Amino acid sequence: MNPGGAAAGRPRRLLMVAYHFPPLRGSSGIQRTLRFVQHLPKFGWEALVLTASPHAYEDTSDDQMAEVPAGTVVRRAFALNTARHLSFFGRYPGALALPDRWATWRLDAVPTGMRMIRRYEPDAIWSTYPIATAHVIGAKLAEKSGLPWIADFRDPMAQDGYPSDRRAWQAYRDIEERTLREAAASVFTTPGCAQLYRDRYPHISADKSVVIENGYDEETFARAAAGRAASPAAAAGGPFVLLHSGVVYPDERDPKALFAALGLLKRDGTLTAERFRLRLRASDYDSLLVELAATHGVADLVSLEPAIPYHAALKEMLEVDALLILQASNCNQQIPAKLYEYVRAGRPVLALTDPVGDTASTLRGAGLTSIARLDDVASIAAALPAFIARVREGREAVATSEAIAASSREGRTRSFAGLLDRTVAPVHASASPSRTGRPS
């Protein structure tokens, strides 16, 4: 083994512990790990991926498997989804789902990870939330190997009222405390989230708390753009299509006020099925949305569409008249990953979110200023028709070229590689020349 640095003739190596990885489908979280894997070699790093066995995933698709670079070492440790595999008549012992439903993953992931460490001699370990078990695995591998560990929090873990189960909340709190104490660096995707943790744990030094935002992948967008329709739906004579691409969480992206506003606008004749359509792609909560549409009498204004391959989802963003962001105030320290894809798509964006949250701030920084509160029916009912009119007349702003350039996944990976370089440098500098291996 080579504790003092990468072996001659090869880049440094990073062991990446990530639940979200192809062939999983239905989570934007896949893109963060996948694009790091793709772009890290440009900056002197090679990725080794430790993920979960595919049967642990609720939905799979092969559409992004070809985007995993040829030759990438990927190991899939055995894992079960407690709710699906260990339940009896829909019930299962809560202890089997702590800190989350994939807690069994760590039983095979730790020995699998140690075999990867002995064989491939990585220079650092990285683990990524929102599956908390990933940080449990990362911590144990770091403890057993002596390697520096970078923890990718993305979003807050233990929050007010989340998780709702008291035992799960305490498990999350314990994991975040240990992670922030032991990890060489902790990474967050928004300034608000980073500040939340600095306030919660004042002992965290500024250089150990780093913001690396999500982004978009230019190569994938370029392929999607090559086959897109020539003009948006409304310009081609159809109804104005406002697209929300992705999960509509009942709390974090609560659609109730939006549907109530649609009902008001339909009753006063402002919106008709011939001229407007709200398209909700891969919502994961279609039954709730069907109920809301029926309650407010707007089923003819709303289309619920199934999940499609990632490439097709980007193509759809490029083709519709406008894009919709939903983000509740209880997520003010979070930014939907799709926001950066919306920025790159270059289409007008209507955001229903808290004007003081990180989502609104990032949108304004990109030149996108059509924002109304998610929980305010009157505000939405006023904002939506005015937004549609500006888009139809060509007066609605789209993201600035500067914002687009700053948000690429390759650029984010450059920042990530810089963090990795800074993290491993002290370890390599202090390594004794007489050492022949790391602890096992």
- In sequence order, what DSSP letters do the residues of 127-159 get, joined into one string? EETTSTHHHHHHHHHHHHH---EEEEEES-SSB
- Residue 431's region, left for phi above 0, alpha for psi from -120 to 50, else beta, is beta
Task: List the chain residues with pLDDT less than 70.
Answer: 1-9, 87-90, 92, 94-95, 229-231, 233-236, 427-440
Q: What is the pLDDT of residues 129-152, one digit of tens each?
A: 999 999 999 999 999 999 999 999
Cis amide prior to 163 (ω within 30 degrees): yes
Residue showing tokens 């095979």: 108
Domains delineated in the chain: 12-215+408-430 (3.40.50.2000), 218-401 (3.40.50.2000)
Asked if residues 271 and 301 have their Cβ atoms less than 8 Å apart, the reply is yes
In 191-321, alpha helices (H): 191-200, 218-226, 256-267, 286-296, 310-319
pLDDT of 428: 60
pLDDT of 431: 55
pLDDT of 94: 66
pTM score of the predicted model: 0.86
pLDDT of 4: 44
Q: Which two structure tokens, joined as six digits, stand for 413?
A: 């990976």
Q: Which two structure tokens, joined as six digits, stand for 419?
A: 């963090």
pLDDT of 308: 93
C-alpha span between 347 and 297 (Å, rounded): 28
pLDDT of 316: 96
Q: Which of 243, 82, 232 is nearest to 168 (CA)?
A: 82
